[in-house]
Amino acid sequence: MAAMAADTRPAASYGPVNLLVVQPTPFCNLDCDYCYLPNRDNRSRLSMEILELALERVLGSPFFRAPFTLLWHAGEPLTAGIRFYDEAAAVIAEALQRHGLPADTVTQAIQTNATVIDKAWCDCFRRNGIQVGISMDGPAFLHDAHRRTRTGLGSHAAVMRGIDWLKREQVPFHVISVLSADGLDHADAIFDFFVESGIQLVGFNMEETEGENSRSSLESPDAEQRYVAFLQRFWQRLQQQPDALRLREFDGITSLACGEERLANTDMNWPFVIVNVDVNGNVSTFDPELLSVKTEEFGDFAFGNVRTDSLVSLLQNEKFQRVEAQVHAGVERCRQSCAYFGLCGGGAGSNKYWEHGTFDCTVTQACRYRTQLVADVVLDGMEKALGLAA
């Protein structure tokens, strides 16, 4: 009976779409050892026809109720080339015009390894209003240990050239840094690198067990203790230099702790808040990390294709119903059992599935690192700053 829950809920109760994740190509010019994506040597490129259909599926659905971000992600998006993004911008503008919507209904963003960024790319970002996120792991000795080219060379120097172009051309950007076990003892080196490089907006993605990365280095017995020490040192440095940079993880917990609102769910566990479309037009929802991988139980996590299926029709897909029922049950387990629920809203389904083999479960290593340990450090730091703790 649980699997039929998605059938009986009105479509308008889902969404609204906040994020449309589109894969311009599965190909990546790097071979990072912790990447979750398969088929990174596949040079297929998204057609403008599929992009147009993806936009139509979102804009014509009851899940569209407000402006949203179109994120180019999964593979290395810049290998699609500058002309691709100029053509895509025209397709987006035409779709909005057909629906009588203002240009700011869709904001483009891109997550890139930055290795090919030059002045022409900076001009492209500006011309098409593309917000830029850079994937890089801090100082060279940490970054190059994991983020190598296909010939085994480190990519740090190329990334820094790209970042220098962004700064020179005054294109705003943020950095997402994957934190593996070998970075946990280097909080000062990572902090100093970001500050000295003029990188002011930083987020940490913990190395996760998911997809092709079947084992995380953070599974070691002492990793949590080392991570807490890492966070505590980062917190100390930010108290000493409060304007040096902003850390996404600290900002998120601080804003929730100081506000009255608590999360009832997250974008990654509520259907059609995130819509994911791969290079072939396959469409899914929930975590973007689910779309491109295969499992024994579900096969892949594609629930349809934009060529043939509306988003509403996905509600009738048996695989969607099974996944949605498990995800919902897992969120309810978290709501009933976890003291941190108001800070995470039940976590990310992909982490639950990769770590436990089901969405219907509670705590994961990922939520320990992403939410629980961060919250403990931040709340302890705030209490000490207010003189409420020893």
What is the tens place of the pLDDT at every residue in 355-371?
999 999 999 999 999 99
Let me know if 18 is exposed, middle or buried by CB neighbors in 10 A (0-12, 13-18, 19+). Answer: middle
According to the model, what pLDDT value does residue 290 have? 85
Q: Mapping DSSP to helix (H, G, I), strand (E, B) and coil, where does residue 48 land?
A: helix
C-alpha closest to that of 290 among 13, 5, 23: 23
Q: Which residue has the tokens 């969120």?
A: 331
- State the Rg of the chain over Cα: 21
Higher pLDDT, 262 or 208: 208
Q: Over the stretch 85-130, which tens digit does the pLDDT of each residue have?
A: 999 999 999 999 999 999 999 999 999 999 999 999 999 999 999 9
According to the model, what pLDDT value does residue 261 have? 59
According to the model, what pLDDT value does residue 2 have? 36
User: What ranges make up the beta strands (E) of the chain?
Assistant: 19-22, 68-72, 106-112, 130-135, 173-179, 201-206, 246-247, 274-277, 282-285, 294-295, 299-300, 304-305
Round to whole Å and give the CA distance between 230 and 190: 10
Q: Are 238 and 34 in contact (CB under 8 A)?
A: no
Backbone angles phi, psi at 200, to 5 degrees: -105, -20
Lowest mean pLDDT among 16-20, 212-216, 276-280, 320-324: 212-216
Q: Which residue has the tokens 């829950």?
A: 5
DSSP lists the bridge partners of residue 30 as: 149
Q: Are 330 and 354 in contact (CB under 8 A)?
A: no
- Amino acid sitting at position 79: T
The average confidence (pLDDT) of the chain is: 92
Q: Give me the percent of the chain exceeding a pLDDT of 90.
A: 77
- What pTM was computed for the model? 0.93
Backbone angles phi, psi at 344, to 5 degrees: -125, -15
